[in-house]
Amino acid sequence: MSNRKVYTDYFFDEPAYNTHDGGFIPLEAPKVPQKALAIPEPLKPDEETDTDMYYTVTAQTGEVQLLPGTKTKTWGFNAPLLGKTIIFKNGKTIHITLKNELPELTTFHWHGLNVPGPITDGGCHAPVYPGKSTQIEFKCHQPAATLWLHAHPCPSTAEHVWKGLATGVIVKDDIESKLPFPRNYGVDDIPLILQDRHFHENNQFDYLADYDPDGVQGPTPMINGTINPYFDVTTQRLRLRLLNGANRREWRLHFSDDLKFTQVASDGGVLPEPVDFTHLMLTCAERAEIIVNFGDYKPGDTVTLYCDDVPIVHFRIHQFTPDNTKIPDHLVDIPNPEVTPGTQVHKVVMSGMDEEVMMNDKKFDMQRIDDRQKVGNVEYWDISNTNDKSNGMVHPYHMHGTQFRVISRNGQAPYPNENGLKDTVGVNPGETVRLKVWFEHLGVFMNHCHIIEHEDGGMMAQFEVYDPDQPKTYKLMDMDTLMNAFAKERGVKVADLHIPGMDNM
């Protein structure tokens, strides 16, 4: 065993936990029999060469046997629910055909991927209409990481994700592949997409019935689209690629026996130094890759993963060959560029709760650019949450188009697992988190709270990454175009369209 310190803390401010929300819906242990955890299949490339990868990603409807009885109607990417895992190799040029087979428009947002905005990035400016397809192409240029793809048709992002449009994206590279980590996908390297749902009559989702402007929740944990999952452990060490894919829920994770685990990667890739924990909290959209060592268990044992005190995955231990691999104290070097002299600190203020949420005292406007940064510059961004310390909430702040560094929290060191590349950071009430941010690609990008109902409700802004030698103008989407399209697709008048996020704007 190593001499590293073992943290036993969730770090975030306890009074701000979602458990204190007026509308908090506690998780409940599902009463249905345990079922094998679904492992999303890797998406097969249409073609792959030494330099290029070609994929088709299809947003589709489907049905899944989630609970005994009637199947649940769902949406997914290349699968009925959630999706197949999409794998990119760093350095290759990626060509993707995006196909929409849903009854309404959606978008394909690559959360955490460094690509140009706003079209390739896939936010609200890049709708793909039903029955249509488009192509994107980009060079994958970032370290190995666990990212994700999700729908982003503002202000209906939350509903699309709730119906199932979210899936894992894995970037691979030659550095991570030499580290002593498990990487046999599906066997000792598995994604865990953490979500919660509420099942209504006939086992169906009903987003509007569950709507809460502070974030939609349900009592049933749904992990990789499985209710009450178990996983058969056949190796001593298991790598879990944790993704908080919930609309609002925070996941406070720990194992039975307070089993220690090691976090080796955060949102944007491998951490410079691994961090040992017994407890870990993930706010919406955050990822953590952890390695769990089952060396002290024997066949027949079960190790349970909990969120607060509710079991969410049962790891059934089987025979495995002993594995004494140690995780080194230093893993990778990551960039920490100097701030460009003479640049100003960007300020972002997240305020309010419920329908009142805003960013810099404004509601989101697709046509307005709120901030600008020169491509290649390295600048500080100070992100504040003005919620009250005693009854406010943690707002997970996310930026498209970058992997940033977290510099400080109210002037103090960030949490021990925040020394890597990140694209989402939970900001406590009364706190200012300083980020160091740089961009490689031009474009218009979004920054927002990743409680998805907050982003739909207007706690979102846009910035342009520009090059003074190459001025560009962008044709930005507008709310009327999207609303008219949704109304037509849903067969209602615009006035009768019920998209709750829109009502809050």
Q: Is 109 in the site for ligand C2O (CB under 6 A)?
A: yes
Q: Which of the listed partners (Cu ion, ligand C2O, none) does 152 bind, with a CB threshold of 5 to 8 Å by partner kind?
A: ligand C2O
- The stretch among 212-220, 258-266, 315-323, 442-450 that binds ligand C2O (CB under 6 A) is 442-450
What is residue 90's three-state secondary structure?
coil
CB of 164 to ligand C2O, least distance (A): 15
- The stretch among 15-23, 126-134, 445-453, 473-481 that binds ligand C2O (CB under 6 A) is 445-453
CB of 350 to Cu ion, least distance (A): 6
Cα distance between residue 491 and residue 505, in whole Å: 23
Would you tell me how many other CB atoms lie within 10 Å of the CB of residue 424?
A: 23
**Closer Cβ to ligand C2O, 225 or 401, answer by number:** 401
**Closer Cβ to Cu ion, 275 or 281, answer by number:** 281
Draw the binding track, 262-301, toward ligand C2O (x: CB under 6 A; -: no contact).
Answer: -----------------------x----------------
Cα distance between residue 226 and residue 38, in whole Å: 6
Q: Which of the listed partners (Cu ion, ligand C2O, none) does 285 bind, with a CB threshold of 5 to 8 Å by partner kind?
A: ligand C2O
Would you tell me how many other CB atoms lie within 10 Å of the CB of residue 162?
A: 27
What is residue 149's three-state secondary structure?
strand
> For ligand C2O, which residue of 241, 400, 436, 441 counts as binding (CB under 6 A)?
400
**Closer Cβ to ligand C2O, 105 or 285, answer by number:** 285
Closest to 286 measured CA to CA, from 74, 8, 12:
12
Draw the binding track, 65-104, toward ligand C2O (x: CB under 6 A; -: no contact).
Answer: ----------------------------------------
Q: Give all strands of the β-sheet with 269-277 in edge-to-edge order.
A: 6-7, 269-277, 261-266, 287-293, 237-244, 189-197, 220-223, 226-227
- Give the burial string for 330-339 (b: 16+ CB within 10 Å, else e): ebbebeeeee
Cα distance between residue 221 and residue 218, in whole Å: 8
Cα distance between residue 7 and residue 30, in whole Å: 30
Interface size with ligand C2O, residues (CB under 6 A): 11
> For ligand C2O, which residue of 84, 89, 92, 111 counts as binding (CB under 6 A)?
111
Q: Where are the beta strands (DSSP E) in 439-489?
A: 443-449, 460-466
Query: Hey, which residues between 128 and 157 contact ligand C2O (CB under 6 A)?
Result: 150, 152
How far lies 271's CA from each of 4, 109, 426, in Å? 15, 24, 18
Q: Is 398 in the site for ligand C2O (CB under 6 A)?
A: yes
CB of 153 to Cu ion, least distance (A): 13
**Closer Cβ to Cu ion, 21 or 478, answer by number:** 21
- Write out the two tokens for 231: 């996983």
Cα distance between residue 24 and residue 17, in whole Å: 10
Closest to 117 measured CA to CA, from 401, 489, 494, 451:
401
Q: Is 454 in the site for ligand C2O (CB under 6 A)?
A: no
Q: Which of the listed partners (Cu ion, ligand C2O, none) does 446 bind, with a CB threshold of 5 to 8 Å by partner kind?
A: ligand C2O
Query: Hey, which residues between 359 and 398 contact Cu ion (CB under 5 A)?
Result: 395
How far is C-alpha 402 from the geometric centre of its chain's CA atoms?
14
Residue number of the CB closest to ligand C2O reads 111
Task: State phi, psi for 141 to the nearest 5 degrees.
Answer: -140, 75
Cα distance between residue 470 and residue 382, in whole Å: 28
Q: Is 448 in the site for ligand C2O (CB under 6 A)?
A: yes
Q: Is 248 in the site for ligand C2O (CB under 6 A)?
A: no
CB of 94 to ligand C2O, least distance (A): 19
Q: Tokens 């995006």 belong to which residue?
A: 98
Q: Which of the listed partners (Cu ion, ligand C2O, none) does 436 bind, with a CB threshold of 5 to 8 Å by partner kind?
A: none
- The stretch among 78-86, 383-391, 444-452, 473-481 that binds ligand C2O (CB under 6 A) is 444-452
> For Cu ion, which residue of 451, 460, 465, 482 counts as binding (CB under 5 A)?
451
Q: Is 252 in the site for ligand C2O (CB under 6 A)?
A: no
Q: Which residues contact 22 (CB under 8 A, 6 or more apart)?
A: none
Q: Which residues contact 342 (CB under 8 A, 6 or more apart)?
A: none
**Closer Cβ to ligand C2O, 81 or 285, answer by number:** 285
Residues that bind ligand C2O (CB under 6 A): 109, 111, 123, 150, 152, 285, 398, 400, 446, 448, 450
